[in-house]
Amino acid sequence: MVACKRCRLRYVNPRVNRQTLEAGYAETYYPPDKVKRIRTDSMEWLQMTERLTELEKRHRDKGRLLDVGCGIGTFLHLAREQGWESHGVEPSKSGSDFAQEAYGLDVRCGDLFDADFPSAYFDAITLYHVLEHISELNPFLSELRRILKPAGTEKKAGTLVIEVPNGEGLQSRLQKADWPYVHPRDHLYYFSAHSLPKLLRKHGFRNITLGKPKRVSPSTGVHFALRQVATAALVRFHLGTVIRVYAS
């Protein structure tokens, strides 16, 4: 990994090309045992519920939602139950097939460009742990800008949500190369609370704010409460394990 001296963005060098990445996602990323584990994992549902709850606090007018890299459709399924018009894009055929067949979702298999959505089409676009996998950031972010509703349309400006591992978080600083999110074969970028907003501003996004992702757990008690407090403190000072950014 190297870092840009100007914007502090950390990235993998030499680059991994798009074709190599897509080959790894297309057929085998969601084998049946992984799909079953995700679908029955209470932590998965709690995490997706936490994400949806924070989105709805910031974007109260429910409308057309796109989840890029939607996996097997857990988040979209929850969003539709809450009144959103749910759409997804997922490069894995097994993941997109499951989302379509099990949940009846509109999920297109392929990448964002394959979907070819109309301009100013979505009220909200979400990317949870996706952007670090994208080999060509500039055209990808320009496409997100094109399909997100701008200010001045019949509703308020659309909301973009991006969550990524925090490359300058406390855990990454302490563990360095042993940090679990370090796997250069598919995590190509290591964003920070400084570099990600700067990148979004470059592509015309405004009203950029940092979210406050919360620790979730199916269990309760003093131990979990203490961990929640610790997580909230780290997030406040941009030292949490992940970064969540909102923009319009």
Domain containing 234 — which CATH number?
3.40.50.150
C-beta separation of 172 from 166 below 8 A: yes
Q: How many CB atoms lie within 10 A of CB 40?
A: 9
Instruction: Give residue 188's identity as a one-letter amino acid code.
Output: L
* Mean predicted lDDT score pLDDT of the chain: 92
Give the pLDDT confidence of 36-52 residue by residue, as tens digits: 899 899 999 999 999 99
Q: What is the 3-state secondary structure (H, E, C) of the chain?
A: CEECCCCCCEECCCCCCHHHHHHHHHCCCCCHHHHHHHHCCHHHHHHHHHHHHHHHHHCCCCCEEEEECCCCCHHHHHHHHCCCEEEEEECCHHHHHHHHHHHCCEEEECCHHHHCCCCCCECEEEEECCHHHCCCHHHHHHHHHHHECCCCCCCCCCEEEEEEECCCCHHHHHHHHHCCCCCCCCCCEECCCCHHHHHHHHCCCCCCEECCCCCCCCCCCHHHHHHHHHHHHHHHCCCCCEEEEEEC
Which range, 23-27, 30-34, 101-105, has the best average confidence (pLDDT)?
A: 101-105
* pLDDT, tens only, 49-69: 999 999 999 998 899 999 999
Number of residues assigned to the chain? 248
155: confidence class by pLDDT, cuts 50, 70, 90: low
| Domain ranges, residue 231 | 2-247
Q: List residues bridging with 161 in a β-sheet.
A: 126, 246
CB distance 119 to 113 below 8 Å: no
Confidence bin at 203 (pLDDT 50/70/90): very high
Q: What is the pLDDT of residue 25?
A: 73
Which of 133, 93, 86 minimizes the C-alpha distance to 114?
93
Reported as a pLDDT band with limits 50, 70 and 90, residue 153 is low
State if pTM tops 0.85.
Answer: yes
Looking at the structure of the chain, the number of domains it has is: 1
Token readout for 111 is: 């990448």
